[in-house]
Structure 1
Amino acid sequence: MMKLQWGMIGGGEGSQIGPAHRLGAGLDGAFEFAAGALDHRPKEGRAYGQRLGLAGDRAYGNWQEMLEGERSREDRVDLVTVATPNATHFEITREFLKAGFHVLCEKPMTMTVEEGEEIVRITRDTGRICAVNYGYTGYSLVRHMRAMVARGDLGKVRLVKAEFAHGHHADAADADNPRVRWRYDPAQAGVSAQFADCGIHALHMASFVTGQEVTRLSADTVSCIESRELEDDAMVNFRMDGGAVGRLWTSSVAIGRQHGLTIQVFGEKGGLRWAQEHPNQLYWMPLGERLQVIERGEANLSPEADRSTRVTIGHAEGMPLAFANIYSDLAEAIRARKDGREMDPAADLYPRAEDGLRSMAAVFAVAQSGKEDGAWLDARPPMFR
């Protein structure tokens, strides 16, 4: 089977996210890394791309050059990953979609709700795929949680509790550290810091696992380090369209927490608990029975979990493997379109542009609710109301 052609924008040398994407895209052999514009400095970007194995004429100096170079090629890339600074996501994603490319965009997909709605309309008009990298939903046992909820193991979902809290920005002395400062600067980060950075991962996971969407929310936001203009801690209560109640805590000043992404789902017939720092175990408590530990890779899990299990039971599963599952989903979706067939339903799990849009609407609702002392606000984008 011929490999699909893959290109990347951003994710250059020293990037935090670039290596995870390159590992994830290459893990299954479905994609060939064929083109890239990896750095905002053209010379450095071209050089780094060639060191990674790109041909000289496909190691581009910027995204505009890559768009022009790829659109006319017979072997043009099938999928473009956008891993640039947040404020550039919308323009790059829009232009590649309009040119007929499939896109995987890092979160947040856009900086405004209006931009998000435009991306959704473009995907619908062009028929192109626009995925958003909520990569933690690629973990095998997160997908098994979703399958358990969908098949009714928990009964009606009553409550979902999600967290994404760490302490890596807790030092007030870091106020002038450029790697930290921009995150709390409205000119660069937008209307929200910690919720837009981490909270939306937890919120999207709540929807992914439960199959329900957030309709309204109330937020308490605070800058524990007073010099920050944007929040470094937020507590969000929310309601979902299937009747579930949601609680979400996100923080960057929780000293002692490392990554801190966890999700718990409680239904009429049982409860589930999973933590990203311990991804091989899913805790399942059926009503009136003893606590059970479901191990990733064990027999008789769901098709969604089986398809996304990469290493044998007992071995560690990591973030690049979760990213690889998103890329595997996208490879199956692209191949199904090329072949004119339905895609494998166990692979139809990649986050869509609609998910990116819902996240951005929630970001603005959280920011506004925080300003209004926790007022309950509609969390849906206008086009979904």
Structure 2
Amino acid sequence: MTKLNWGMIGGGEGSQIGPAHRLGAGLDGAFTFAAGALDHRADAGRDYGQRLGLAADRAYGDWREMLEGEKGREDRVDLVTVATPNSTHFEITKAFLEAGFHVLCEKPMTMTVEEGEDIVRTAAKAGRICAVNYGYTGYSLVRHMRAMVARGDLGKVRLVKAEFAHGHHADAANADNPRVRWRYDPAQAGVSAQFADCGIHAMHMASFVTGQEVTELSADTVSCIESRELEDDAMVNFRMDGGTVGRLWTSSIALGRQHGLTLQVFGENGGLRWSQEQPNQLYWMPLNGRLQVIERGEGGLSPEADRTSRVTVGHAEGMPLAFANIYADLAEAIHAAKAGRPIDPAADLYPRAEDGLRSMAAVFAVAQSGKARGAWTDARPPMFR
């Protein structure tokens, strides 16, 4: 299969997320890293791009230069990853979609619901993929959870419990640290801090696994460090369109928690439990049965799990491999579109712009409900009501 050309905006030297994207995009040999505008400092971006192997004329100084340089090339990039600060996602993503590029945007996709609806419409009008990097849905056993729910192993799903809690912002002495402070500043972060940063990952995963969308929610938000304007802890109750009840806790002051992304799904015939810090095991408790441990890579799993299990059973699976599964999905989707054929159903799982839009609607609903002391609030974007 012909390799696709890939470009990246942001993710420069010292970036937390850039290396995970480059490892993920390159793992299967489906993409060639062909172009990039990696830093807001033009010279630094060009230098770092060339050190990573980009040709001098495709190591760009900024995203506008990259857009102009790529759109006229016969070997233009097929997919652009946007990994820049949150407030820039909308402008960059929209510009590349309108120019005919497929886009993978880091979350949050936009800063407002209106911008999110604009991106959904722009992608549809352009006939291009706009994916959002809810990368944890790339884990093999998360996809097996989804398959188990879809084929009815759990029966009707009654309750889903999601958590994404850590303690890395628990030190009040760091309140003025610029790397921390911006997250709780409405001028830079928007209407939400911890829920917009981590909570939307947990909520999206609940929807991804259950196949249901959040319709309404009630939120209790608090700034445990009082100098913060935005929340560092939130408890969110929600209802889903298939009748499932949801509970979600997200926090940045939970000392002793490291990453903390976990998901539990409880149905009438059984329950599932998975944790991102131990991604090789999925715990399955059938009704009136015995607790079972499903191992990633073992025989007899779903096609969705088999396709995304990259190393033999018993070996560790990590975040870059989960990202790689998102990129593998996108490579299959782009090749299918070029060939005019259906996409492999086991690969048709990458998060869409619609998911990014729903997450942004949930962010604003949580902020509104939190201010109203937990009043139940419509969590759907207007275009989906």
TM-score (norm 2): 1.00
Distance 1:96 1:268 in 2: 45
Q: Hey, what does 1:245 align to over in structure 2?
A: 245
What is the CA distance between 1:6 and its match in structure 2? 0.1
SS in structure 2 at match of 1:199: helix
- Paired residues for 1:47-62 under 5 Å: 47-62=47-62
Alignment-mate amino acid for residue 252 of structure 1 = S
Distance 2:82 2:124 in 1: 19
Distance 1:177 1:15 in 2: 17
What is the CA distance between 1:105 and its match in structure 2? 0.1
Q: Hey, what does 1:384 align to over in structure 2?
A: 384
Q: Which runs of 4+ in 1 moved over 2 A?
A: none
What is the CA distance between 1:2 and its match in structure 2? 2.0
- Paired residues for 1:175-214 under 5 Å: 175-214=175-214
- Paired residues for 1:155-166 under 5 Å: 155-166=155-166
Distance 1:90 1:276 in 2: 29
SS in structure 2 at match of 1:176: coil
Alignment-mate amino acid for residue 366 of structure 1 = V
Deviations 1:48-70 (A, max 9, x none): 00000000000000000000000
Distance 1:376 1:175 in 2: 31
Distance 2:32 2:374 in 1: 48
Matched, 1:234 2:234: yes
- Paired residues for 1:168-317 under 5 Å: 168-317=168-317
Distance 2:57 2:32 in 1: 16
SS in structure 1 at match of 2:262: strand
Alignment-mate amino acid for residue 119 of structure 2 = I
What is the CA distance between 1:126 and its match in structure 2? 1.0
- Paired residues, number: 385
User: What is the alpha-carbon root mean square deviation over aligned residues?
Assistant: 0.3
Deviations 1:115-165 (A, max 9, x none): 000000011111100000000000000000000000000000000000000
SS in structure 1 at match of 2:175: helix
Distance 1:306 1:254 in 2: 35
Deviations 1:37-89 (A, max 9, x none): 00000000000000000000000000000000000000000000000000000
Alignment-mate amino acid for residue 70 of structure 1 = E
Q: Hey, what does 2:335 align to over in structure 1?
A: 335
Alignment-mate amino acid for residue 238 of structure 1 = F
Q: Hey, what does 2:370 align to over in structure 1?
A: 370
Distance 2:179 2:202 in 1: 23
What is the CA distance between 1:273 and its match in structure 2? 0.1
Distance 1:315 1:170 in 2: 33
Alignment-mate amino acid for residue 244 of structure 1 = T
SS in structure 2 at match of 1:89: helix
SS in structure 2 at match of 1:87: helix
Distance 1:243 1:262 in 2: 21
Deviations 1:237-268 (A, max 9, x none): 00000000000000000000000000000000
Deviations 1:2-56 (A, max 9, x none): 2100000000000000000000000000000000000000000000000000000
Matched, 1:11 2:8: no
Q: Hey, what does 2:151 align to over in structure 1?
A: 151
Alignment-mate amino acid for residue 98 of structure 1 = E
Deviations 1:276-308 (A, max 9, x none): 000000000000000000000000000000000
SS in structure 1 at match of 2:315: coil
SS in structure 1 at match of 2:337: helix
Q: Hey, what does 2:141 align to over in structure 1?
A: 141
Alignment-mate amino acid for residue 35 of structure 1 = A
Distance 1:364 1:27 in 2: 36
Matched, 1:114 2:114: yes
Alignment-mate amino acid for residue 45 of structure 1 = G
Identity of paired residues, percent? 88
Deviates more, 1:172-181 or 1:24-33: 172-181
Q: Hey, what does 1:74 align to over in structure 2?
A: 74
Alignment-mate amino acid for residue 354 of structure 2 = E
Alignment-mate amino acid for residue 44 of structure 1 = A
SS in structure 1 at match of 2:23: helix
SS in structure 2 at match of 1:294: strand
What is the CA distance between 1:223 and its match in structure 2? 0.1
Distance 1:179 1:314 in 2: 37
Matched, 1:40 2:40: yes
Give unmatched runs, 5+ long, in structure 2. Answer: none
